[in-house]
Structure formats: structure tokens, C-alpha cells
Amino acid sequence: MSLIHQYKNNGYNILLDIHSGCVHVVDDVVYEAVTLMDEGCEAQETAARLTGKYPKEDVETAIEECLTLKEEQMLFTEDIYQEAVRDFKGRQSVVKALCLHVAHDCNLACRYCFAEEGEYKGSRELMSLEVGKKALDFLISHSGARKNLEVDFFGGEPLLNWEVVKELVRYGRSQETLHNKRFRFTLTTNGVLLNDEVMEFVNREMANVVLSIDGRKEVHDAMRPFSRGAGSYDLILPKFQKLADARGQENYYVRGTFTRYNLDFAKDVLHLADLGFRQISVEPVVASPEEDYAIRPEDVSRICEEYDFLAKEMIKREKEGRGFQFFHFMIDLTGGPCVYKRLSGCGSGTEYLAVTPTGELYPCHQFVGEEGFSMGNVFDGLTGEEIRREFADCNVYTRDACRDCFARFYCSGGCSANAYKLSGNIKGTYTVGCELMRKRVECAIMIKAALAQ
């Protein structure tokens, strides 16, 4: 297996040492030397093969530098993590995050909604305060020694049950000192019911807010209409701008979905940036292949071109002092998560669970209502130990497609729900998703290279 991922993008020769995470921007001599060495050539043979093409002195110093980096475990680093990650996954048994489905109901009828317009294969329901409190109690009692607990108010549309959201935040805060915990509340909303009172509360209490908007008006309105067909863009946009400004343009995301109908989605990202948003996430729809808007394998190359275009535009804007964050190009080369986090996945079904309006537990929001994935309820506790174990065993070493993928330290094996929906198995592979993930990692690193100049 290759120890290095090397690629050229936007004029940069980039080497990613897969197992150390080290990123090197190199000249042509080193780039070619590393290709040969990664294939198994010794230093002497590598030098012999490159001399003639490049000046002898350059070849010698290039190989010296490669060997120095190898000595310092920054190049050709071996994988030493497999056992450590398996032990780590084996010992995890706490729950630290809940996705609270406070409303299985929605005031929009988005065409691509995985919750089937908010109802999740069930009927329209709101979570009662009693169920919500019980869910927070469940989280506290299952969180062991973890101090930081996360609760996302999700739906459907959570603002349809706003009074309960507020009461639950108050209840959570009242429990923090008692149990030595800290709640991070977040909210995901379509914005239809946002008003000044909601904004004031959200800005005081919510660590992050996810605001759903797809980009250009015509793109947004085509996929995110009201049930009678009218678009929602004009109603929500000014509210989102006001909220983002009130939060100082931090700790929020405008989050969009792109589909086959807007493969030129960079225009949507830039549209959102031009509207003043500084924290932007726009990602590919995940849908059954039979849906007309689903991304098809033949769309991948077009999407990759679009990511390249977006990356270059972001570099340009950053240098002009009008940069913005794009969630999928964010990468932290000087810090970032530890290797356990990187290799063990999102925590669905183990440390992260979803709670339905009636208090049923599922591995994550995308599994809600899926037959065979119920994991008990907040009143009687966790059941479904077999399901928990299956999710606990999900990591990059148990997914076939991850073993040889350079991006496994960045996506951590991908989304189990996507894998299940597209391959029928939570450890399966959503190939299109993988290809796009790899491209995004390459772009993210290239942006760092460009901005380091």
C-alpha cells in the first residue's frame, strides 16, 4: 500500500504523508523522487534514474531531504494506529450527543428531504416537554465522565415547537452545575419562523446555528418551496443575514444542498458569500439513484472541476481580504482532532443518537424510522446492543474501501447512513461520496499551500 498521496493542483506539487498527516509542497525533483521511492526504489536507484533529467546536485539534495523527512517520521510513515483504534472503539460506551427531533413536521416541502417533508415515515408529531426532559436526563446519565454534551434541536422544523425548545434549554442549564456538565445547544432551521425573539434567545444560548439555504434564488426556490409551491428564499434570506450579523459572522453556517440541477454549485457558494455570509456549507445531495435530482457517477468529474474553480476563487478572495469559510475545505494542519477521532468515525449509534418526538432512540437522525434500527427509548433506556456493537465496530479498518484511501484520516470512513442507503450496509461504500470527499481534501490542502506563500 502506498504511504504517500501525491498530486498536482493549481501549479503546486503536493505530498501528503498519509499516516503522519504531514503535508509537503515540493519541487519537481522531489516529486518524482518520492514517486520512485514510494514504489520501492532505493535512494541510489532513484538518483540514477533522475540524474540526466535534473542537475546531479539537485537530485542529491532532493533525495537527502526526503531521507531526512523519513528519519523524522514526516515522510513514508508507517501505519501504527490499527490496534490503538480498535481498543479505543471497544472501550467507548458513553453517549455524549443527541439529535432531538422536536418536530416531525415542517412548514416547507423540500424536494430532497430525507425526512420525507419532515414526517420520517410516520405521522406529524411534536415532542412534548416531558419527553424532551427525559432525553436530557438520559444524556446526562449515559455520559459518564464526559463534561461537554451536545444537543441539536432538529426536525422537521424545530421552530414549530419553539416553546419546548426554550424550556429544554432552561432545563438543561439548570442541570449543568448539579451534574458537572456543560451543554452545547445547536439549532438547525429553515428560517421560516425566525423572528427577533427567537434570534435573541438563539444568540444567547446556542453554540451553533445551521441555517438552511441553497444559494441562488432560483436554485433555492426550486428545491425548497412551501407545500403550495411558492419559493421560500425571499422570506428567509433577510432573517438569515440579520442572524449571522448579530452573531458577528461566527458560530453559524448557512448550509445548502446541491443537486444534479445545479452542478455549477460554486455559483451558489459565491452567491452566499456575496450576500455577506462568512460561514458556508454547501454539499451534494444524497438520494436514491432513481430520483431525477440525484448525483450520478458521470457527474463526478464536473463536480470536481467545480471544486477546483471554487478553491481558486476562495484563494483570490482571501488574498483580497474578503475571504470566507467553506465547511468542506476546512482543514487544520497545525491542530485538528487526534488520530482516534479521525479513524473512528462520527459516533453514530454509540456516542451520538437521535431521539424521535415520542422518545424513541435511533443511531442518528438519518436512521430515524428505518426498520430494524430502533435502539430503545428515553424512558426504558437503551436496547439494541447488537446495533450498538455494529456501529461501534465501524471504523476505517473495518470498511474495505477505506484501507487504501488517503483521505481516511479526514473523513473517518464516511457516513454510515449514506453507506446504508446506497449499498444496503452501514459498512458499505458510497463511491460517489468517496470520490468527492477525496477531491475536497485535495482542494483544502492546496488552498493551504497557496495561502502559505
Partner 1 sequence: MKHVKTLNTKNLRGTVKKGGCGECQTSCQSACKTSCTVGNQSCEHK
Footprint on residues 354-393 left by partner 1 (CB under 8 A): 364-366
> With respect to partner 1, which residue has the nearer C-beta, 281 or 356?
281
> With respect to partner 1, which residue has the nearer C-beta, 220 or 342?
342
Pairing of strands 97-101, 352-355: parallel
Return the closest-CA partner of residue 144 out of 351, 341, 345, 344: 351
Using CB under 8 A as the binding rule, the residues of this chain from 167 to 186 that contact partner 1 are: 184, 186
Count of residues that bind partner 1 according to CB under 8 A: 90
The helix, strand and coil proportions of the chain, stated in percent and rounded to the nearest 5, come to 45, 15, 40
Using CB under 8 A as the binding rule, the residues of this chain from 10 to 39 that contact partner 1 are: 19-27, 29-30
Using CB under 8 A as the binding rule, the residues of this chain from 412 to 431 that contact partner 1 are: 412-415, 417-418
Minimum CB distance to partner 1, residue 162 (Å): 20
- Cα–Cα distance measured from residue 332 to residue 107, given in angstroms and rounded to the nearest whole number: 37
Tell me the per-residue interface mask from 55 to 94 with partner 1, x by CB under 8 A, - otherwise: ---x--xx--xx-xx---xx--x--xx--x---x---x-x
> With respect to partner 1, which residue has the nearer C-beta, 99 or 102?
99
> With respect to partner 1, which residue has the nearer C-beta, 248 or 336?
336
User: Which residue from 118, 191, 215, 345 is in contact with partner 1, where contact means CB under 8 A?
Assistant: 345
Packing angle, helices 162-179 and 196-205, rounded to 10: 20
State yes or no: residue 7 binds partner 1 (CB under 8 A).
Answer: no
Question: CB-side exposure of 185: number of CA atoms within 13 Å?
Answer: 20
Cβ–Cβ under 8 Å, residues 231 and 216:
no
User: Which residue from 76, 183, 265, 352 is in contact with partner 1, where contact means CB under 8 A?
Assistant: 352
Minimum CB distance to partner 1, residue 448 (Å): 5
Using CB under 8 A as the binding rule, the residues of this chain from 227 to 266 that contact partner 1 are: 253, 255, 257
- Cα–Cα distance measured from residue 158 to residue 114, given in angstroms and rounded to the nearest whole number: 16
Sort 80 into a burial class: Cβ within 10 Å, 0-12 / 13-18 / 19+: exposed
Sort 283 into a burial class: Cβ within 10 Å, 0-12 / 13-18 / 19+: middle
- Return left, alpha or beta for 136; rule: phi > 0 is left, psi -120 to 50 is alpha, else beta: alpha
Please give the grid coordinates belonging to residue 286: 444524497
> With respect to partner 1, which residue has the nearer C-beta, 164 or 441?
441
Using CB under 8 A as the binding rule, the residues of this chain from 430 to 449 that contact partner 1 are: 433, 437, 441, 444-445, 448-449
Rounded alpha-carbon distances, angstroms, from residue 264 to 134, 282, 284, 310: 45, 12, 11, 10
Minimum CB distance to partner 1, residue 230 (Å): 25
3-state secondary structure of 363: coil
> With respect to partner 1, which residue has the nearer C-beta, 192 or 415?
415
Cβ–Cβ under 8 Å, residues 326 and 333:
no
State yes or no: residue 281 binds partner 1 (CB under 8 A).
Answer: yes
> With respect to partner 1, which residue has the nearer C-beta, 256 or 376?
256
- Neighbouring CB atoms inside 10 A of 389's CB total 12
> With respect to partner 1, which residue has the nearer C-beta, 176 or 379?
176
> With respect to partner 1, which residue has the nearer C-beta, 93 or 195?
93
State yes or no: residue 100 binds partner 1 (CB under 8 A).
Answer: no
Using CB under 8 A as the binding rule, the residues of this chain from 105 to 144 that contact partner 1 are: 114
User: Which residue from 347, 349, 384, 428 is in contact with partner 1, where contact means CB under 8 A?
Assistant: 347
